[in-house]
Amino acid sequence: MPKSVLIVEDDMEQRALFTQAFMAAGFRVVAVPDGTTALWHTTKESFDVVLADLYLPECQGDLLIREIKCHHPRMKAVLMSCHPEITEETPMCNADLTYYKGDLSQLMAMILDLVASEPSQFH
């Protein structure tokens, strides 16, 4: 069964870029523009990892990850942004990793390493 990723990105072009890259890497992808839709999907299906933008309409990505981790503590999460303060948000929302947008190959390597990790490493 392929690994699955929930991409939460409000920028349509970025969302399409991430979707294409993850599908090409063999992931099952669900891509949504906001936190409300993302939360709905997490009640209907399971994902190996959620990739959430920090700045989203309705709900910031850090708050979204915190909410998802409350209900799915083993789901891995990556908080991403094009703003340098991204690393400051990680401990507060329990994200497993942060990604400063730019190098897509770096993101893919991070996600592949993350989903290959033993689930017991992430609480």
Type of residue numbered 3:
K
Q: In the prediction, which pLDDT does 88 show?
A: 55
What residue ranges define each of the domains in the chain, with the CATH number in brackets? 4-118 (3.40.50.2300)
Which pTM does this prediction carry?
Answer: 0.89
What's phi and psi for 48, nearest 5 deg? Answer: -75, -35
Question: Does the pLDDT value for residue 87 go beyond 90?
Answer: no
Burial of residue 40 (number of CB atoms within 10 Å: 0-12, 13-18, 19+): exposed
Residues 21-74: tens digit of each pLDDT: 999 999 999 999 999 999 999 999 999 999 999 989 888 898 999 999 999 999
Average pLDDT over residues 15-26: 96
Percent of the chain with pLDDT over 90: 63
pLDDT mean across residues, the chain = 87
